[in-house]
Structure 1
């Protein structure tokens, strides 16, 4: 199998979908704009620094969802896709995904953002296989703010891809793998694959990639 793995935020998308979803929820009145923005910015800074406690963040990021319920959440996400995500999808990113698909590669998005936010985004890219932070559900069938299983963040991305491979009776030796990411947080998976591609890389990943001779791909300019 030839395997093409893609990070999502700032790699395929020029935005951070998790952060953007949080901002969107304030615009529709779900959260206090001042208090939420302060906490959201703090978590985002920890993410960029590689010090994020993902369990604390997911509780924070899904709090409004839990209160709104499944029906309101789904309707809001449809609006989020129409007003924020689809206008941000770049043709260069779509073309890169399509090239791998047309070559017959297995294409998987591997993201540290939760499945509620990212499943429709993966669909917009035409990608069925998504490895994202999975959310636990309570007795009522709705999310409860906790993470189910291994979160697909930092070293957890390696573990989750290995689980994905094992479910298909495969291991790393059975695939030729490429991974595109912008973030130094994904260094563990970059070091695991056959072909690491630093895509729109942050300054630290760009330096590592240059030092190790990894391919650097500036697919599009970033926006915050």
Structure 2
């Protein structure tokens, strides 16, 4: 295995393994890939709006809009202001098949299997949208998912291109994790926690864990991890299946 797993004391009531998704389990980001997957199979005329997508990206780079606004704008441009749940669901499933088929690190799959074998409850915490993350998580055998939510009015058959709550990123992600632990009656002193991420924005989650692993880390996380005593692994080094 790429990540050595030291013995865990047997007196812990809970074992939880927390995974980021994009560039941790997957080899690249999934958000833009999902949007392009949908637009090419659904309304190709929306490809004409790509210059506006680029303009929104420039506005984000200049800090004129935040990540949440950027994601909502791109979703609205390439998928629509609102869209049918029944129409998008099959595209989410086919995109999940595509990601699992050729877009994940083999070493990540091995680590997920090892954690499951050791009795860890698997939690996927990601800034990507529930819209397609849930389908990916099912294929990975993940127990629980925390992801960015979209506005889905109760009883409505349409989803709106606007975020419901915060983008599940950084401190907001850790707040969601804390709420999830409380909702599941998992107290910190009765839990052994592993955490895996590629990005420094997940510092709160990694710092919280008993075993923190910087997986194929970004430059900033690669510099930070040794200072924090976190393990660093490169899951690209293992040949993917």
TM-score range, shorter chain: 0.7 to 0.9
Q: CA shift at 1:72, angstroms?
A: 2.0
Which blocks of at least 5 consecutive residues in structure 2 are unaligned? Answer: 1-13
Q: How many aligned residue pairs are there?
A: 219
8 A Cα contact 2:53 2:74, kept in partner: no
Aligned to 2:118: 103
Match of 2:35 in 1: 22
TM-score (norm 2): 0.80
Give CA-to-partner distance per residue, 1:58-97, whole Å, 9 cap, x none. Answer: 3224321554422221122233233444221332221110
| CA-to-aligned-CA distance 1:117-160 (integer Å, 9 cap, x gap) | 21101111111311111222136342223333444211011111
In the aligned structure 1, how far is the partner of 2:99 from the partner of 2:151? 26
Whether the 8 Å contact between 2:19 and 2:123 is mirrored in structure 1 is yes
Task: State whether residues 26 and 36 of structure 1, in contact with CA within 8 Å, keep that contact through their aligned partners in structure 2.
Answer: no
**SS class of match (1:201):** coil
Give the aligned partner of residue 196 of structure 2: 180
> Which of structure 1's runs of 4+ aligned residues deviate more than 4 A?
39-43, 49-52
Bigger shift: residues 103-112 or 26-35: 26-35
Which runs of structure 2 are paired with 1:1-224 in the superposition (5 Å)? 1-28=14-41, 29=44, 31-33=46-48, 34-35=50-51, 38-39=54-55, 42=58, 53-63=66-76, 64=79, 66-138=81-153, 140-220=156-236
Query: In structure 1, how many angstroms separate the alpha carbons of the residues matched to 2:52 and 2:111?
Result: 35
Q: Which stretch shows the higher mean deviation, 65-74 or 33-42? A: 33-42
Give 1:169 shift. 1.5
Structure 1: runs of 5 or more not aligned: none
Q: CA deviation at 1:51?
A: 9.7
Q: For residues 51 and 154 of structure 1, do their structure 2 counterparts lie closer, same or farther at Cα, with a shift above 3 Å needed? A: farther
Alignment partner of 1:31: what SS?
helix
Instruction: Give the TM-score of the pair, scaled to structure 1.
Output: 0.85
Q: Which whole-Å CA distance do the structure 2 matches of 1:197 and 1:159 have between them?
A: 20
Structure 1 stretch displaced more, 122-131 or 63-72: 63-72
Q: Which has the larger radius of gyration?
A: 2
